[in-house]
Structure 1
Amino acid sequence: MSRRRDEQPGATPRRFPPRPDDGLPLLGSLPAFAGDQLGYPVRATRKYGDIVDMNLAGWRTWLVSDMDALEQILVRDHTKFIKTPLIWRQITAVFGQGLLSSDGDLWQHQRRLAAPHFTPRRVQDYDALIVSLARKAVDRWQDDTTFDVHPHMMNLMFRIVTSTMFDADAESEVEIMERALSLLLEEMAHRFRRPVLIPDWVPLPSNRRYLKAIAEIDGVVNRLIRERRQNGIEGRTDYLSSLMASQDANGQPLPDKQIRDEAVTVLLAGHETTALAMTWALYLLARHPDIQAEVTAEIASVLGERDASSADVPELKLTQAVVMETMRLYPPGWMFGREATEDCEIKGYHCPKGTQILIAPWVLHRDPRYYETPDAFRPERWLDGLAQRLPRYAFLPFGGGPRICIGNSLAMLETTLSLATILQSGAIEWRGDRPVEPYPSATLIPQGGVHVAFRREKARHAGP
């Protein structure tokens, strides 16, 4: 391997991971990567190994799939790695310094503030509200009429997060949020593909759309905060009220900007990812009616005619397996990153300060070393203890280490109960004319939508 530019003449040669041979002058592997963001990492990993050193337009970037290296980056040496500026520098106006994007002492303080609202015991109390909202959503669907289920899941999960986390009825805000979020996600997808930072103030049409979408989202959040101030927070225990009653690390009330950043983080990250998990689950079940029939039979056996509750979740084993398998095939957070804050060594390779680390659940979840027939939809693979047998970082739908998604327990409860409620009411039929392809933005968006029909008469409490 030839000497890299950061080696000093006469120094002992440092070992670096293999680098793809498809690089172009200046741009390196960026055109190949940007042109196929899902396929390229899979091919690169299988050709070059579990640590691949890429040049992305001058950014030294490692694609890491090695289990021990992931343990080091995410756990053992996690303080040496921060959230990746290569990604977050493009969207700082969206999340600000919220829990998802902050680092260091600020992140630790925010995590402590948020943690009590996301414990498994706490989220179980939301079960009746989740089921009620899911029931109202499915009751609005017209029987045997083709529709795109994705916006319906976005709508449902937005209502759930505003009701559970903010104790607010956001009926008047849903349309604004859906429109703004759609524009925001489209622009974020473009930003993730470009290596050059274009400031938000540059008067490009895309920047204007991006800032307008953020302003509309901020308007919703600020109205919720303003209404809460007017009505008072005494005796309220929801997340927004807790933020407004909290203090920063210096013992001062949280500034409105910090409350806004935390609220937007929960609103966006907390509903879009679960909405996508639900959308892809319904897509996969519609494409596999035999599996859907088995899930429906389980739901009928466990629930009968009554509504689901958190106490039923352990018995809805196949329903949960569908959720797990969906997140394996279509992890909403398909790739996430870190940046090395100091020189270090990973698996015998020299990792210079500033190295961008990319971790791709999309790649890990399709590794045939861990999953038999990895491209197939097989929920039953999770019914015999697979989760306990897998290496710790072979399944990362919620990330890993101290920065694992704080809302993972709520997400699993939401998806399992919502899926059970929908299939208790009827059957999802596939009405598309071709398989749906995922579009890699910050999350995996179904290109062109997921067109299905809902048939109440086919599956109402259908059992064996």
Structure 2
Amino acid sequence: MAHLKGHIGYPIIGDKSVEFYKDPIEFVNKRVNEFDEKIFQSRVLNTPTVFIASAEGVRQLLYEKSHNFEMGYRAFMYNLYGDNLLFSGHDEAHRIRSVLHHLFSGESVQQWDSLLEKLMNRNFDRLDSGCALPMYKVFKRFCTELSISIFLDVDIESSLELVQETTDLATTHWHGIISVPFSLKVPYWSSGFKKAIEAKNSLFEIICKRLVQTVDGDFLQQIKSAGFKDMTEAAHHVLLFISALVPKAMASLLTSFTILMAEKDYITHCEKACRDEQYLQYVLLEVQRLWPPFLGGRRLASQDCEIGGFKIPKGYAAAYITYSAQRDPKIFPDPDEFRPERWRTCNAGNENYLSCFGGGPRDCVGSSLMNRMLKTVCKYLLNHYSWLVPNGQDLTHKWLPVSRPKQQVMVVYELKSDLEQSSEFTEVDDPDIHS
């Protein structure tokens, strides 16, 4: 077994958290170049941490070696979310996933298609205003409305006050993730973490009231009858679903889709994606590969384990870096290039090397719903509009807590003519797609 390069340093004084959070990609790249190795050790969150930036190493961690690790979020997120799937051990997670499985898989996700269509029309029918629009902001508003509509059974147009209240609370709650976990309140001032806890409690009250008001067929009614131990456990999972986590992740991917499709070969990619649903799926895989909404994830070793030929001792954290692993040239040729066709050719069948939504037995329980909605929204935009991203904008990314351009990216949309618009995919004899 090879020796891990890098240094875990001394507790507190050897901690590199500030450097990591300032620019995580630079932190990782600097050490990968220095050690000439994509797996190395350091100290972050005052814990000896093995960073995994190779595609094969991440795949091992999330799939065949997953039983050697527990989820690593409890210490700094539990107070903000309470008991839910993210913080459960393997056996408990299996029970909860079986409870949620029928709500987020297969035909179940189709029940929200009409709601999705309604909200797309509400949010996207005037994109061709003639003005450049801040797309991340537009997508975040749409995705927030979608999340509240689905998981709280709220009609947006008749409940604007509740929607705004929930949105504001979810935003404050989310900011607690990037706040120092120090709860303090004095006259005229509260810490960010204290405000986040207060927002969490208010959101929880709203959820509990909505659970009482459910009607047959609604999502909350399905939650109540899904098989949770009690309503408190059910409410904590609804809190996870309506938090800003989901809207921000989806808005991040839609923004990246918009930017990538506006770059070189825009017309070619858009035309192919409009004509062929499989090619659109390749496009979305490539968007997730290049610009995942989350930097990566964290696990805690429950026993000694080997990843990529290196020993990870019990008690160490393992931080997998999705961005780096998904640009690993050993798996993805020309890793920095936007090449949707790679998923038909050189990377056909390599989807398990993507960790955009985790992977293995602890992957995101809502990934099927997310993928269906992403495809539907992107199809809507492609069929109704053409767009461009004016030159001269700063497209560099920030990564924490969710990846997105550092500056608001402005986009100009133009409505397609009736002859150009199509709501159905057609199969075409295009050798670039189907060869």
TM-score of the superposed pair, with normalisation by structure 1: 0.79
1:276 to partner: Cα distance: 1.3
Match of 2:182 in 1: 199
Distance 2:166 2:323 in 1: 28
Which residue does 1:309 correspond to in 2? none
- CA contact 1:177–1:216 (8 Å) conserved in 2: no
Distance 1:449 1:104, change over 3 A: same
Change (3 A) 1:270 1:32: closer
Distance in 1 of aligned mates of 2:102 and 2:85:
14
Residues 80-107 of structure 1 show CA distances to partners (whole Å, capped at 9, x for unaligned) of 311114xx42232332222233333332
Q: Which residue number in structure 2 is paired with residue 229 of structure 1?
A: 212
- Among 279, 286, 290, the alignment partner of 1:318 is 279
Q: Is the 8 A contact 2:303 2:313 kept in 1?
A: yes
The C-alpha deviation readout for 1:383-436, integer Å capped at 9, x for no partner, is 436241x3843x211111100111111111111110111222212221463232
Q: Aligned partners of 1:142, 1:391: CA distance in 2, in Å?
A: 35
Q: Which amino acid aligns with 1:162?
A: I
What's the offset of the Cα at 1:243? 2.5
Matched, 1:54 2:69: no
Q: Deviations over 1:3-29 (max 9, x none)?
A: xxxxxxxxxxx9641116999992254
SS at structure 2 position matched to 1:427: strand
- Indicate the SS of the match to 2:315: coil
Aligned-partner SS, 2:6: coil
Aligned to 2:333: 372
Q: Summarize the Cα distance change of 1:166–1:409 in structure 2 as closer, same or farther, 3 Å threshold.
A: same
- For residue 264 of structure 1, give the secondary structure of its aligned residue in structure 2: helix
Q: 1:166 to 1:437 in 2, by over 3 A?
A: same
CA 1:221–1:24: 2 relative to 1, 3 Å: closer
Instruction: Give the corresponding residue for 2:237.
Output: 262
Q: Give the SS at the match of 1:76.
A: coil
TM-score normalised by the chain length of structure 2: 0.83
**Is 2:297 the counterpart of 1:336?**
yes
1:267 partner letter: I
Q: CA deviation at 1:67?
A: 5.5
- Say whether 1:109 aligns with 2:95: yes
**Post-superposition offset of 1:442:** 2.9
Once residues 138 and 187 of structure 2 are traced to their aligned partners in structure 1, the CA distance between those partners, rounded to angstroms, is: 31
Q: Does 1:402 align with 2:361?
A: yes
Quick check: 19-28 or 124-133, which moved more? 19-28
Alpha-carbon spacing, 1:91–1:300, altered in 2? closer, same or farther (3 Å) = closer
| Cα RMSD, aligned residues only | 3.3
Letter in 2 for 1:236: G
Distance 1:205 1:378 in 2: 53
1:287 CA displacement: 3.7
Which stretch of structure 1 is more off in the superposition, 396-405 or 126-135? Answer: 126-135
Equivalent residue, structure 2, for 1:90 = 76
The aligned runs of 1:226-375 (5 Å cut-off) are 226-230=209-213, 232-233=214-215, 235-236=216-217, 238=219, 240-248=220-228, 254-256=230-232, 258-268=233-243, 269-288=245-264, 290-291=265-266, 293-298=267-272, 301=275, 315-346=276-307, 349-375=310-336
Tell me the matched-pair count.
Answer: 418
Shift of 1:186: 4.6
**1:246: how far off?**
4.4
CA 1:46–1:118 in 2, change beyond 3 Å: closer, same or farther? farther
Alpha-carbon deviation of 1:451?
A: 1.3
The CA deviation at 1:175 is 3.0
Aligned position for 1:212:
195
Distance, in Å, in 1 between the alignment partners of 2:300 and 2:89 is 11
Residues 421/42 of structure 1: CA separation in 2 closer, same or farther (3 Å cut)? same
8 Å contact from structure 1 (residues 336, 359) kept in 2: yes
Alpha-carbon distance in structure 1 between the residues aligned to 2:70 and 2:189: 28
Answer with 98-107 or 270-279: which moved more.
98-107
Change in 2 beyond 3 A, CA 1:37/1:206: farther
- Where 2:392 maps in the other structure, the secondary structure is coil
How far 1:295 sits from its partner (Å)? 4.4
Instruction: Answer yes or no: is the 8 Å Cα contact 1:426–1:454 preserved in 2.
Output: yes
Matched, 1:146 2:127: no
Q: Percent identity?
A: 19
- Contact 2:261–2:270 under 8 Å retained in 1: no
Q: In structure 1, give the amino acid aligned to 2:342.
A: R
CA distance in 2 between counterparts of 1:144 and 1:84 reads 46
Letter in 2 for 1:189: I
Q: CA deviation at 1:160?
A: 2.6
Q: Distance in 2 between matches of 1:159 and 1:40?
A: 35
Q: Secondary structure at the match of 1:441?
A: coil
User: Which SS does the other structure have where 1:63 is aligned?
Assistant: strand
Q: What is the alpha-carbon distance in structure 1 between the residues aligned to residue 198 and residue 29 of structure 2?
A: 37
1:143–1:348: structure 2 CA closer, same or farther, 3 Å change rule?
closer
* 2:289 and 2:326 in contact (8 A); partners too: yes
The residue aligned with 2:52 is: 64
Superposed displacement of residue 364, structure 1: 0.6
Alignment deviations for residues 420-463 of structure 1 (CA, whole Å, 9 cap, x no partner): 11222212221463232222223213322221122225797269
Q: In 2, are the aligned partners of 1:28 and 1:57 still within 8 Å (CA)?
A: yes
Instruction: List gaps (5 residues or longer) in structure 1.
Output: 1-13, 192-197, 302-314
Is the CA contact 2:55–2:331 (under 8 Å) kept in the aligned structure 1?
no
How many Å apart are 1:220 and its aligned residue? 4.7
- 2:14 matched residue in structure 1: 27
List alignment gaps of at least 5 residues for structure 2: 423-427, 429-435
1:326-364 C-alpha deviation (Å, 9 max, x unpaired): 111110122101001233444554432210100111111
Q: Does 1:137 align with 2:123?
A: yes
Contact kept? 1:20, 1:44, Cα under 8 Å: no
Q: Matches of 2:291 and 2:250 in 1, distance apart?
A: 12
**Paired residue for 2:165?**
176
SS in structure 1 of the partner of residue 330 of structure 2 = coil
After TM superposition, give the deviation of residue 187 of structure 1 in Å: 4.8
Checking the alignment, whether the CA contact within 8 Å between 2:327 and 2:336 is kept in structure 1 is yes
The separation in 2 between residues aligned to 1:294 and 1:398, in whole angstroms, is 28
1:426 touches 1:459 (CA, 8 Å); kept in 2?
no
Structure 2 vs 1, CA of residues 264 and 228 (structure 1 numbering), >3 Å: closer, same or farther?
A: closer
